[in-house]
Amino acid sequence: EAQVTQNPRYLITVTGKKLTVTCSQNMNHEYMSWYRQDPGLGLRQIYYSMNVEVTDKGDVPEGYKVSRKEKRNFPLILESPSPNQTSLYFCASSLAGSGNEQFFGPGTRLTVL
Amino acid sequence: SQQGEEDPQALSIQEGENATMNCSYKTSINNLQWYRQNSGRGLVHLILIRSNEREKHSGRLRVTLDTSKKSSSLLITASRAADTASYFCATSNDYKLSFGAGTTVTVRA
């Protein structure tokens, strides 16, 4: 089944404890991206990747890192999480670029205490 | 920065009625997409309209795009309870994708 998977789905952590949220797609998509969703603000793009080893900042990249060493995986790293990073995170992928249909993962609900 | 803004923020309609929501954006776009989200789940793509198109249909969905006014509308005809969800427009420019804050639609039985 064609899908985007994220892990973990739920995470409660403490300020400053490094964490990684994994994202994987099995559709051989070139484009992958991360978003955070906060009430009243919709989705805001954190980082995106056009292909392996090619990443760029979205609208809210501060406090996040990404890497794209393999085409199927695009992990999101929070090196020192803070409470203002408490949010619902979505990974998405598409065949090529932001101008194509995006396939979204199920989301990761992160709480930073 | 948020490119798109949906209006209204919330909409409540009776089953069988039509639902219309609007999206306005600020800068030039390559295309505009509409997505649906059910209660905190992942977004699902509904329809994509390119900047050189004015109207597009998909089942009970009708999307219009007016690039001179930098606005788009999504019409859902003959609504059903299953249409209860949040709807987002997303504008694409180069490799970035910007979403609006969404319209929450409630369809009453």
Mean pLDDT across the stretch A11-16?
97
pLDDT score of A92: 97
Mean pLDDT across the stretch B84-99?
90
As a whole number of angstroms, the distance between CA B94 and CA A96 comes to: 11
As a whole number of angstroms, the distance between CA A48 and CA A27 comes to: 17
Question: Is the confidence at residue B1, as pLDDT, over 60?
Answer: no
Report H helices in chain B: none
Q: Are strands A10-13 and A108-112 parallel, antiparallel or unpaired?
A: parallel
The tokens for B16 are 């069988």
**pLDDT per residue as tens digits for the range A44-101:** 999 999 999 999 999 999 999 999 999 999 999 999 999 999 999 999 999 988 888 9
As a whole number of angstroms, the distance between CA A70 and CA A26 comes to: 12
Instruction: Give the residue from B31, B96, B103 with the most A CB atoms within 10 Å of its CB, the best one to mutate.
Output: B96
Q: Give the nearest partner residue to B95 out of A43, A48, A103, using CB atoms.
A: A48
Q: Give the nearest partner residue to B48 out of A42, A45, A101, using CB atoms.
A: A101
Question: Is the confidence at residue B82, as pLDDT, over 60?
Answer: yes
Question: Is the confidence at residue B4, as pLDDT, over 90?
Answer: no
Residues of B with Cβ-Cβ distance to A105 under 8 angstroms: 42
Residues of B with Cβ-Cβ distance to A41 under 8 angstroms: 2, 101
**pLDDT per residue as tens digits for the range B39-69:** 879 999 999 999 999 999 999 999 999 999 9
pLDDT score of B75: 98
B24–chain A Cβ distance below 8 A for any pair: no
Q: Give the nearest partner residue to B96 out of A41, A90, A98, using CB atoms.
A: A98
Is A92 in contact with A49 (CB distance < 8 Å)? no
The tokens for B54 are 């004015």
Nearest to A64 by CA among A51, A53, A80, A49: A80
Rg of chain B in Å (alpha carbons): 13
Nearest to A26 by CA among A94, A95, A69, A72: A72
B47–chain A Cβ distance below 8 A for any pair: no
Q: What end-to-end distance do the CA atoms of chain B give, in Å?
A: 37
As a whole number of angstroms, the distance between CA A55 and CA A31 comes to: 10
pLDDT score of B3: 66
